[in-house]
Amino acid sequence: MTEKPAAPRTLPRHSATFDDYTLSEIRRAAATGIYDIRGGGAKRKVPHFDDLLFLGASISRYPLEGYREACGTNVVLGSRFAKKPIELKIPITIAGMSFGSLSANAKEALGRGASAMGTSTTTGDGGMTNEERGHSSLLVYQVLPSRYGMNPDDLRRADAIEVVVGQGAKPGGGGMLLGQKISERVAGMRTLPVGIDQRSACRHPDWTGPDDLEIKIEELREITDWQKPIYVKVGAARPYYDTALAVKSGADVVVIDGMQGGTAATQDVFIENVGIPTLPAVRQAVKALQDLGLHRKVQLIVSGGIRNGADVAKALALGADAVSIGTAALVAIGDNDPALEAEYQALGSTAGAYDDWQEGRDPAGITTQDPDLMARLDPVLAGRRLANYLAVLTLEAQTIARACGKSHVHNLEPEDLVALTIEAAAMAEVPLAGTNWIPGKNGGF
C-alpha cells in the first residue's frame, strides 16, 4: 500500500505588520510595564538626502578643477545682530551633547577634533565644563529649559548662545538622564542629588511663546553686551512657522533638527513617531527665510542624519548655511565600533545597533560616567579621528560643489538637484529625475 502524499503546505509567513521587532517590543512591554527608552534618532526609513542626486556640470555648466581651483567652505554665523559673529572654516559644526550624557573624555575629544578643523562644538543640558571650554576654540553655550549649570560667567565666555526650544528626536519633549549616569560631578553641576533620575523640563521656565522669547533674547543680549551670536534651535515639526517665529524673536541663527537627529535618551515611541524628517524641514525653513527676505542674513544650520559630504552638500544646496552633526561625530570617535562586538553582545545588543546610552555602560567610554569605561577613550586619538572625519566631509562636499561649477559650497543651489522619488521631490521641491515635475508645483513631465 502506497502512502498518501502529504498535502502541500504554505511556508510559515511572518506578518509585515507584526514583524519580529514589533513582537519583541510587545513582549518586552508586557514583561516590564514601562516604555522603551533609548538614545539616538529615528531608525525607521524616511525620505532623506539619499533620495536626491546632483546633476553636475555638462555643456551648459562649467565645472571647477578638483584640488586646484578654490572652493570655499567658510561660514559666518551671527552677522544679523551680534557684535562678534563667529566664522567657521568648514560648514559643519558639532551639535549640543551634554557632559553627563557624554563622558568628559568624549567632550574633550569633540572639542579637540572640531578645533583642529576650525569649527565649533556645543555644550548641552548640563552646563559648561572647563575642559570643554579649554579644548573648544569655538564653543556654543546652550540655554535649555532645565538651566542646569546656567550662569552669566559661562554665557560671557561662550562664543555663541543657543536657545534650545526642542530637538528633532523629540520635539515637545524634555531631557532625561537616568540615575546611573548622575555621578557626583554631574549632580553637582545640575544641583541635584546623586543617583536620581533626572527629568529636564520640556518648557522654558521664564518664557512662553514668541513674544516672550523675543524679550528673553533681548535679556541674553543685554547680559552679554550684544556681542554673542544667538541661535534658536527647534526640532523639526512646523519648520516654516518656527523659523519665521525664531527670526521674529531676534535670532541671529536658526537651527533646525530633523527626526533622525539623536538624543541622549528618550522614549522610543517619541523618537520614531514625533517630528518630521530633515529633508522637508530644510526646504520649509529656507522658504521662511526667503519669504522674510533674510535668507543668508539669518543663517540656517541643519542637523539630523548628516553622514557624509554628499549630505552636507545637499543640505547647503537646499539653502542651509551649515550643518551640525552629533551621532556621526560619536561614531567617528568610536561609538558602536565592531571591535567591541563581544561587549555589545554582552549588553544584549550588537555593534551598530547599541543605543542604550542612558544606562551608562557604553564599552566605548563615550556615553558613560563610569571612570573605568571612560578611561578607555583616548581624547587625543579620538579627537584626531573626528578631525579626519570632518576633513573628509568637507572634501566630499567640495568635490561635489566643484563638479557643479561652484567656487564656494554656499553657491550650490536647488537647481543642482533632482530627486529619485516622488516623495523626496515633493519634500525638497526639486524635480523628479529626468522630468521637470515637482509634485504640487507644476503639472508637466
Partner 1 sequence: MTSDPFVFDLAHQTVRDLNAALHALPPGSNETLWRVENPRGLHAIAAGVDADAAIEIGGSVGYYCAGMNKRAAITVRGNAGVGVAENIMSGRVHIKGDTSQAAGATGCGGTLLIDGNASARCGISMKGVDIVVKGSVGHMSAFMAQAGTLTVLGDAGESLGDSIYEARLYVRGAVKSLGADCIEKEMRDEHRAQLFEKLSLAGLAGEVDVSEFRRYGSARTLYHFHIDNLGNY
| By CB under 8 A, residue 197 contacts partner 1 | yes
- Interface with partner 1 (CB under 8 A), residue from 53, 64, 76, 192: 192
Give the number of other Cβ atoms within 10 Å of residue 180's Cβ. 15
CA–CA dist 379, 426 (Å, integer): 43
Region binding partner 1 by CB under 8 A among candidate stretches 210-218, 235-243, 283-291, 318-326: 210-218
Look up cell 541661535; give the residue: 231
Out of 205, 293, 434, 440, the residue judged to bind partner 1 by CB under 8 A: 205
Instruction: Output 207 or 389, the one with its CB closest to partner 1.
Output: 207
Given the complex with partner 1, which of 201 and 392 has the nearer CB atom? 201
Binding partner 1 by CB under 8 A: which of 23, 70, 215, 392? 215
Q: Which is nearer to partner 1, 145 or 239 (CB)?
A: 145
Q: Is 184 in the site for partner 1 (CB under 8 A)?
A: no
The residue among 296 and 361 lying less far from partner 1, judged by its C-beta, is 361
* Cell, residue 383: 579627537
Mind spelling out the 3-state secondary structure of the chain?
CCCCCCCCCCCCCCCCCCCHHHHHHHHHHHHHCCCCEEEECCCCCCCCHHHEEECCCECCECCCCCCCCCCECCEEECCCCCCCCEEECCCEEECECCECCECHHHHHHHHHHHHHCCCCEECCCCCCCHHHHHHCCCEEEEECCCCCCCCHHHHHHCCEEEEECCCCCCCCCCCEECHHHCCHHHHHHHCCCCCCCEECCCCCCCCCHHHHHHHHHHHHHHHCCCCCCEEEEEECCCHHHHHHHHHHCCCCEEEEECCCCCEEEEEHHHHHHCCCCHHHHHHHHHHHHHHCCCECCEEEEEECCCCCHHHHHHHHHCCCCEEEECHHHHHHHCCCCHHHHHHHHHCCCCCCCCCCHHHCCCCCCCCCCCHHHHCCCCHHHHHHHHHHHHHHHHHHHHHHHHHCCCCEHHHCCHHHEEECCHHHHHHHCCCECCCCCCCCCCCCC
Closer CB to partner 1, 357 or 437, in the complex = 357
Cβ neighbour number for residue 190 with a 10 Å cutoff: 21
| Per CB under 8 A, 193 contacts partner 1 | yes
Q: Is residue 34 a contact residue for partner 1 (CB under 8 A)?
A: yes
Which residue from 23, 26, 70, 223 is in contact with partner 1, where contact means CB under 8 A?
223
CA dihedral 62, 68, 73, 76 (to 10 degrees): -100
Provide, rounded to whole angstroms, the least separation between the CB of residue 129 and partner 1: 17
# residues near partner 1 by CB under 8 A: 31
107, 170, 216, 233: which one binds partner 1 (CB under 8 A): 216
Q: Which of residues 117-176 bind partner 1 (CB under 8 A)?
A: 146-147, 150-152, 155
* C-beta of 130 vs 435, nearer to partner 1: 130
Q: Supply the minimum distance, in Å, between the C-beta of residue 219 and partner 1.
A: 4
Residue 196 sits in the site that holds partner 1 (CB under 8 A): yes
CA 373 – CA 392 distance, rounded (Å): 29
Binding map of partner 1 across residues 361-390, x = CB under 8 A, - = no contact: ------------------------------
- Contact between residue 252 and residue 238 where contact means Cβ atoms under 8 Å apart: no
User: Measured from the CB of residue 162, what is the shortest distance to partner 1 in angstroms?
Assistant: 16
Among 179, 378, 408, 421, binds partner 1 (CB under 8 A): 179
Q: Which stretch binds partner 1 (CB under 8 A): 28-36, 82-90, 302-310, 374-382?
A: 28-36
Among 3, 20, 65, 222, binds partner 1 (CB under 8 A): 222
Q: Distance between CA atoms of 76 and 87, rounded to whole angstroms?
A: 4
Give the residue, chosen from 19, 69, 206, 291, that forms a contact with partner 1 under the rule CB under 8 A: 206
- Does residue 225 interact with partner 1 by CB under 8 A? yes
Least Å distance, CB 269 to partner 1, is 15
Per CB under 8 A, 291 contacts partner 1: no
201 binds partner 1 (CB under 8 A): yes
- In this chain, which of 115, 142, 224, 249 binds partner 1, going by CB under 8 A? 224
33 binds partner 1 (CB under 8 A): yes
Among 69, 219, 413, 415, binds partner 1 (CB under 8 A): 219
Residue keyed to cell 559644526: 93
Write out the residues near partner 1 by the rule CB under 8 A: 32-34, 146-147, 150-152, 155, 179, 190-193, 196-197, 199, 201, 205-207, 212, 215-216, 218-219, 222-226
